Amino acid sequence: MGEAAQAATAAPDEGFASAPADALARARAAARARGLRPGVKPKRRIKDVPGGAHKKGRDPMLLGDELDAFVTERGWKVDVAVGAVIGRWPAIVGPEVAQHCHPVEFVDSVLTVRADSTAWATNLRLMSNTLMATLAREVGEGTVSELRVVGPSAPSWSRGGRRVQDGRGPRDTYG
């Protein structure tokens, strides 16, 4: 047998040895493209299971899927996400921080948080990058674009018995 014949018979064997590795690499790339990650089981959808004796559309639907569709259809996705943040505020920021501040309003993707003292308001402003990252992870990127921290509200002393003519005002009496 000549050298060309030996090379021709050796080449297919080498190709067969790398074929399983190539197939595995293609399968992994396809799974990554579909959003699957190693170690995470794909969520099984009951919708994918073919129905029984009834016509299409009569099989029971998953309640969670129907609620998601309803919320999306009405355009309430952001409102529901923000409601979840307000409802789970202590779990998101931690119990110690939650004792000293609470969310007040959410308007045009700006979340306003009121602190119970000016010291805590300053502390929250310093922690705003960390809080924004946590909020993005909890409700999705871009839902909360700005975190506005305000201190405690004080009564106005512009009129009344405690008013001082040309005085400097109450200063930090309430915080």
pTM here?
Answer: 0.52
Q: Is residue 60 part of a domain?
A: no
How confident is the prediction for the chain on average, in pLDDT?
Answer: 76
Least confident stretch, 11-15, 94-98, 106-110, 169-173: 11-15
Our count of domains for the chain comes to 1
Residue range 47-103, pLDDT digits in tens = 655 555 555 666 777 888 888 888 888 887 777 777 888 888 898 888 999 999 999
Map residue 106 onto helix, strand or coil.
strand
pLDDT value of position 133: 92
Residue range 55-64, pLDDT digits in tens = 566 677 788 8
The b/e string for 22-45 (b: 16+ C-beta within 10 A; e otherwise) is eeeeeeeeeeeeeeeeeeeeeeee
Q: Give the structural domain span for 104.
A: 76-150
Domain of 113, CATH number, reads 3.30.300
H-type alpha helices, 101-163 = 118-126, 128-139
